[in-house]
Amino acid sequence: MSDLRDQLRKAGLVTDKELRQAKHRERLHASEVGREGLTAERQAEEERLRAEAQARKRSDRERQEQQKRKNLEDAAAQRLHPVIQSGWIREATAGTRRFFIETRSGRISFLDLSDVAARRVSTGSAAIVETAGAVRGEFCVVSTRAAEEIRALRPELIRFWNRDRSAEP
């Protein structure tokens, strides 16, 4: 403690008078609380530091888990984008038949589908999925093979897929 005081004095941050006053306050405090009080204060300070260290470790662990989840999501997105792009039926959304779907937020949206695409979607030989940035637009129509892979990777992206009808011959 005296080393720090000497360094502060040499640096000109405190005066000799302030150092003497600080030493006097410490002596008074020590005589007021006694040996047991000083020990209790020291233990309380150590406990506080230990609790802070544990909180820091916990927050570091949570941050690492969040980073790991983000990395897994990024890896899934990297696997997902080629699936959506390869299964994307480009000509499906070039039509006049309006097909309504519910978004994940509960909002009702629609796609203008061609007659062939609307038939494929209603029979289950195609599905409507969120694009997740893989192609332009918020939603697109994909083949059943792509829908199966998307269901394995991120099932929440499938907005409409009539699987009951796709099993029929």
Domain boundaries, the chain: 1-74, 88-166
**Cβ atoms of 153 and 166 closer than 8 Å:** no
Structure confidence by residue, pLDDT tens digits, 47-67: 999 999 999 999 999 999 999
Q: Could you tell me where the beta strands, DSSP code E, fall in 29-169?
A: 97-102, 108-113, 126-130, 139-143, 158-160
The C-alpha atoms of residue 103 and residue 100 are separated, in whole angstroms, by: 10
Q: At residue 157, what is the residue type?
A: L
Q: What angle do CA 40, 35, 9 make, to 5 degrees?
A: 90
Question: How many beta carbons lie within 10 A of that of residue 117, not counting itself?
Answer: 23
> Whole-model pTM?
0.56
The C-alpha atoms of residue 144 and residue 134 are separated, in whole angstroms, by: 17
Span 89-105, mean pLDDT? 86
pLDDT at 120 over 50: yes
pLDDT at 22 over 80: yes
**pLDDT at residue number 103:** 86
pLDDT at 107 over 50: yes
